[in-house]
Amino acid sequence: MGQDGALQEKAARRAALRNEYWRTMTNPHNHLRGESGGVFDTGLARFQAMRVNHFEHFKPTGRSFKIGMLTVVLPIFVYAKMMKYERDQREQQYRTGQVAYKDRRFKFI
């Protein structure tokens, strides 16, 4: 079976799924069975179930620890150090008189 046969099978599967979707969506008797709305997608249901149960099956590893440290803890720590350094420099300028009182930011705090 060549590439043409695979493409034909894929097209046949898509046509069958398309026909099933339209048959389900245009069925005027869906409301009798309480199925009004959309088509039930088993793939989407499996994906949502996997997302809900992800943390029940999570196993911490060194890689997940590194990712957590690099994406959460380290940026917060670096930003806090930069903010502290900038505030200390500004406070030093205020105390040594390099910045006039009228030019200071946050005068009333």
| Residue 101 and residue 107 in contact, taking contact as beta carbons nearer than 8 Å | yes
| The pLDDT value given to residue 1 | 58
Report yes or no on whether pTM surpasses 0.75: no
- Rounded to 5 degrees, what angle do the CA atoms 93, 97, 99 make? 65
78 within domain boundaries: yes
Domain residues for the domain of 85 are 59-98
Lowest mean pLDDT among 25-34, 48-57, 86-95: 25-34
**At 77, which amino acid appears?**
F
Alpha-carbon gap, residue 56 to 59, rounded angstroms: 9
**Mind listing the pLDDT tens digit for each residue in 53-96?**
888 888 999 999 999 999 999 999 999 999 999 999 999 999 99
Which residue is it, tokens 């069958």?
16
Mean pLDDT of 23-41: 73
94 within domain boundaries: yes
**Counted domains in the chain:** 1
